[in-house]
Structure 1
């Protein structure tokens, strides 16, 4: 235990100076915490700190050097902090946050100037400095066994549950937004079932809602019953991810396990999402389970895949395609690629893939029709093209009278400029629904031709419209809130928030979420675009090292569906590749390559 604590202290001493120095520069430059430059700054200061700490003066350091190290950085940091005081505190209304900004600026600049001072001394007097003797790492990793993997699974699930429980008690019976309330109306029979929000998820809510109501005769308890199920399910999915990390590395790397557990259990948006009634949350959990499964199947693709793996592959594939409409379009190319990777197990994998697609097609077709489940309207899938055509109209682009006549047959152009929002497609979709969407649906070929002609005449406006609507999925520095949902949206169905705890926990939750807009590096965890670049970079690393990239392929295909069909940049829509982050990082950086597998 003592060895582990000393190791943790050393790790903190490496990263904290880099974080504080980066934070000070970020405040000084006035850039956001989601700006990619913050990551570059953090890396530069980290390696500078590592270099300085890795060297020592051969003799007793001169008094002048020690005095300069103490006086110069202190004077410079205090002087600059005083100069920029108003600038760094202007964004905060709270006195506590203003004081915190000043402390961070002062400490960060002191660390930065101290490192620079020592770096200059080392360069000017190279002969007086020598490299420290590298310390032997005496931390031994435990080889992974079935019993140890199960222990890691149970401990992770328990820690996640403890981390999420205060959020559940504060948000009791669960967080419900407009989408949640639409599904609730279907659950209690106010409206008929619709697959606009996946009906499989709605039926799951209905199952646990009925159990809760049956036991308590209380609709609030019914919602709480579903929220409890979702919270426990997400804890188990997180635990499966950490267990998979152990399996990939074939030993318990305490550092990686602890980092993953901290991410899952204590990064606040994970807890908020776990108690929010959204389809995106269980979909992300299913993606984690599927990611663990395909990683295991890929490892055993030549030595033999178990029958239970094929069964799980079929079930999870079907659920992923049913829990999100656009996942169907990501899964089809993924399944094709996945089947191609299995040469010795080709027939069973191919049969399982075809069967899963066939079952989904049957469920979404004849089965939904038989049970009167309404499908999403055609307009719902046209977020990006509708925004692009609207952008041409808003900016008076190049449109002929004949093309305007086709547009007029669908919408009233009078309201386009008033309703158009560059980062939100629902306004224009509602304008189409208020007009004549049946004309659009009955003449798909003609209107596709219109869309393509306008693209050829206005390519710049099309690209701008697409980027303004979906660019946040690929560029980190885009502003949106993450995890700031609370309670139950006002409604006339008798649903209301009934918090069991409050007090200090509310302030803790607010601070943890606020730090996502305030603390560099940590703030990147709140940026969906940062995860995309993480995926892309680790994919390149995995390809170069000939490691497993199946999960990367699936997640990038999901990203692609968001880029061509998302109505808004929303963190929860990309939550599947956020929650799987520890797995795809370990697969790329620490997984086996083909050569090592072949030797076995």
Structure 2
């Protein structure tokens, strides 16, 4: 008893010290709320208590003698350190005798944290055996999510609709289709609208779809041998996570796209667990086809992800080359049929090509606003697109809207000579590499920074219905719950934005657990996380704004990846 009490007191002291150092690294301690300090301290205390209880110190000492694990622990610690850091002035203005100990303390804590997680996965000794699990359990696992999210549905009836939502909704009546936002989501709206002429039908569909996919994912983990109490804990986490409650009742194509990313992740897990034999069933190939096609059609960055995944599958599972090639050809063929002859037949207007130029626009705008090095020729060309003073006046480091939607912004100059614009942008970047890098870092902040910049923002979710000509207004069926859930959502982003609403944390943990899984299962374990990692890569290449919805899939996939990483399957023939 005395020993456990001593461990608890030591853990509490280390927890308080660690949370204080971490919060000081992220922000001024005076700006942190009592609740944040309390949660961080309790979390750190629990971590250190478990650390000591399993004698992790001695185990890690041996574990880290291997260069790969030492390097990985150092690498992930450094990534977390950079991602959590507050504004540079917040750290650099402190005296060195305070700044250095804070840096070393935070790095030490993150190193122990990273090394412990990696060790826990790699040295998980519990034999996980495949189980026969009836498919009925898919629906049982989906029920809690449906029940919780239906409360959101009733509370925010008939659904949350932003201007992007009405870009789709207005096309239902106008029948003038545009692929600025993927038109396939509009067509889905039209189909469901024919059943019930209310936005609420989309919310119901999205709830059932996402809950079913989560049920399938938990069922997959159950068949791989994960214990029942862990599976139901996973279901609870999925059901109660705030982003999972509000997103299915919001009319965004991102909900279905990210649900498809989660389903693709689960499919990859089944393929990897079965060492490829999962592919041999016709029903499985049909599921792979539909999922890949959904990813390709429901977000404009989805098609490259599908192509890369098909190539990776062909490389990893050459014995099933014929089946995979057939599925890939079918996806590409149907995608081309929909986006070329069908789009032409329905007179679907193409998305403006300049929509993909968020990063070049931001780097040019920052160069102008920072009085960077521009030649007379470059200045004249950029002025023809938008007067230089307006580039500077409307530059926001985290969003391009004020520039690309400015009334004087002449995108035709770019469209008429696209290569000329790219050459000008490349030369501006080469002449101003530091400014260009700063612009890139700020514009992609959502994807790599856990700690929200002081001059930045995060668009977490949308509540209510934007002003519209359709006469649609919020009409909550559960008024009291509407207020409580709104308060809960506001609280989650006010107090714990870096935990719930900054997807960089999810990305880093996905990388860490995927590495750990590959260390004991082989490189193919990485295939499970590749769909969401490739999506993150496309976002890093052209993030237009700091909207959580672009990386909602990272939050969905994280719980699955963490649990999957503890499954040892490399030596088993056909576990699923």
Partner residue in 2 for 1:206: 190
Report the counterpart of residue 144 of structure 1 in structure 2: 131
1:219 equivalent in structure 2? none
Whether the 8 Å CA contact 2:447–2:504 is kept in 1: the answer is yes
Matched, 1:469 2:434: no
Q: Give CA-to-partner distance per residue, 1:363-418, whole Å, 9 cap, x none.
A: 21222122100111111110111111111111110000011122123222231111
Q: Runs (4+) of structure 1 moved beyond 6 Å?
A: 16-20, 22-25, 36-43, 51-55, 139-143
Supply the distance in 2 between the matched residues of 1:317 and 1:561 (Cα, whole angstroms): 16
Distance 1:183 1:52 in 2: 55
> Distance between the aligned counterparts of 2:220 and 2:163, measured in 1?
35
Question: 1 CA distance for matches of 2:230 and 2:459?
Answer: 25
Contact kept in structure 1, 2:161 and 2:465, CA below 8 Å: yes
Q: CA RMSD in A?
A: 3.2
Aligned twin of 1:584: 561
TM alignment of 1:554-573, pairs within 5 A: 554-573=531-550
Q: Normalising by structure 2, what TM-score? A: 0.77
Shift of the alpha carbon at 1:483? 5.0
1:162 matched to which residue of 2? Answer: 147
Which residue does 2:104 correspond to in 1? none
| Structural mapping, 1:468-507, within 5 Å | 468-478=442-452, 480-481=457-458, 483-503=460-480, 506-507=483-484
Query: Which deviates more from structure 2 when the two are superposed, residues 388-397 or residues 17-26?
Result: 17-26
1:197-244 alpha-carbon deviations (Å, 9 max, x no partner)? 11111111111112113xxxxxxxx21122212222221122112112
Q: Which residue of 2 aligns with 1:386?
A: 361
Q: 1:593/1:204 Cα in 2 relative to 1: closer, same or farther (>3 Å)? A: same
**Inter-partner Cα distance in structure 1 for 2:322 and 2:392:** 55
**Aligned-partner Cα distance in 2 for 1:599–1:578:** 27
Q: Secondary structure at the match of 1:594?
A: coil
1:150-197, CA deviations, whole angstroms, 9 ceiling, x for partnerless residues? 32x2222111111112211111101111111111111121x6111111
C-alpha displacement of 1:289 = 1.8
Q: Is the 8 A contact 1:18 1:49 kept in 2?
A: no
In structure 2, relative to structure 1, the CA distance for the partners of 1:174 and 1:18 (3 Å cut) is farther
Deviation at 1:146, TM superposition (A): 2.9
Which of 186, 189, 203 lines up with 2:171 in the alignment? 186
**Aligned residue in 2 for 1:313:** 288
Q: Any residues of structure 2 matched to 1:205-354 within 5 Å, and which? A: 205-213=189-197, 222-247=198-223, 250-303=224-277, 305-354=280-329
Would you say the 8 A contact 1:157–1:236 is kept in 2?
Answer: yes
CA distance in 2, matches of 1:454, 1:39: 46
- Offset at 1:301? 4.1
* Separation (CA, whole Å) in 1 of partners of 2:533 and 2:370: 32
- Cα deviation, 1:242-285, whole Å, max 9, x if unaligned, reads 112213xx224134213311221111221100100001101111
CA distance in 1, matches of 2:37, 2:531: 28
Tell me if structure 2 keeps the 8 A contact 1:273–1:483. Answer: no
CA distance in 2, matches of 1:38, 1:329: 44
**Aligned counterparts of 2:48 and 2:421: Cα–Cα separation in 1:** 58
Whether the aligned pair in 2 keeps the contact of 1:241 and 1:580 (CA below 8 Å) is no
Moved more, 193-202 or 535-544: 535-544
Alignment partner of 1:362 is 2:347: no
Per the TM alignment, residue 494 of structure 1 is displaced from its structure 2 partner at its CA by 0.8
| Aligned partners of 1:269 and 1:513 also within 8 Å | no
Separation in 1, partners of 2:460, 2:422: 37
Select the structure of larger CA radius of gyration.
1
Mapping 1:389-538, distance limit 5 Å: 389-431=364-406, 434-478=408-452, 480-481=457-458, 483-503=460-480, 506-511=483-488, 513-519=490-496, 523-538=498-513
Superposition deviation, residue 291 in structure 1: 1.7
Residue pairs, 1:128-139, within 5 angstroms: none
Once the two structures are TM-superposed, the CA of residue 599 in structure 1 deviates from its matched residue by 10
Secondary structure of 1:188's partner? helix
TM-score with structure 1 length normalisation?
Answer: 0.74
The CA deviation string for residues 109-140 of structure 1, in whole angstroms up to 9 with x for no partner, is xxxxxxxxxxxxxxxxxxxxxxxxxxxxxx99
Instruction: Report the Cα distance in structure 2 between the residues aligned to 1:538 and 1:274, rounded to whole angstroms.
Output: 27
Q: Distance in 1 between matches of 2:505 and 2:190?
A: 36
Equivalent pair of 2:247/2:461 in contact (CA under 8 Å): no
1:545 aligned onto 2:520: yes
More displaced stretch, 410-419 vs 421-430: 410-419
Task: Kindly state the Cα deviation for residue 302 of structure 1 after the two structures are TM-superposed.
Answer: 4.7
- CA distance in structure 1 between the partners assigned to 2:408 and 2:246 by the alignment: 35
Provide the aligned length of Structure 1 versus Structure 2. 485
- Structure-1 residue corresponding to 2:50: 50
